Amino acid sequence: MPGITIGDTVPNLEVETTHGKFKLHHYFANGWTILFSHPGDFTPVCTTELGAMAAYTEEFKKRGVKLLGLSCDDIASHNEWIKDVEAYSGGHKVTYPIIADPKREIIKQLNMVDPDEKTPNGQQLPSRALHIIGPNNMVKLSFLYPASTGRNMDEIVRALDSLQKAAKHKVATPVNWKPNDKVVISPSVNDDEAKKMFPQGFETADLPSKKGYLRFTQV
């Protein structure tokens, strides 16, 4: 599939949004950003999702994360639709900008094109895509859902917590990890280094191979 993916630098596009025009890298400003697309304004699943994004804004702020939405509708449509989103979400305000892309050029460059869904006149629609962008303007994680499946906000927060922990320590998070659970030490860190890096200690799983590669610690 064409477009950016994990490890790629997001192009420094100039975008028109509900908060005015700006370049993406200026908005990212050496921090973390969640960039997410929705198939269309005034559609049911998208309304629930943007309302949830508004409701979770404070959780993202705690983690130093900005939000940036995108669809192919124009600014006037976005501004009208926001009223519905805020009403549905119980009054949570949509404080994040939403990009307009009526020419459907940005969705191609950001790898947010739905391969199957099209408008009645054959135009491409955005997928339900989400990129987590790191402080270096690179894609750290991507989710891609079909139009029929709404995203899980708790999983987005969990994945973000995992990325930020991995960025701070030489660790990874195991299956079903949640904050305060133990993490695993990177295989690139040998035991002697691990003892210095993790003075709180670590435990090594006893596996048939006896290779000692599965080491758990608390950070």
Q: Which of 46, 65, 72, 156 is catalytic?
A: 46
46 counts as catalytic: yes
Number of C-alpha atoms within 13 angstroms, CB side, residue 25? 8
Contact 149, 179 (CB under 8 A): no
Residue the block writes with tokens 């950016």: 4
The CA dihedral of 194, 197, 198, 202, to the nearest 10 degrees, is -10
Residues assigned a catalytic role: 46
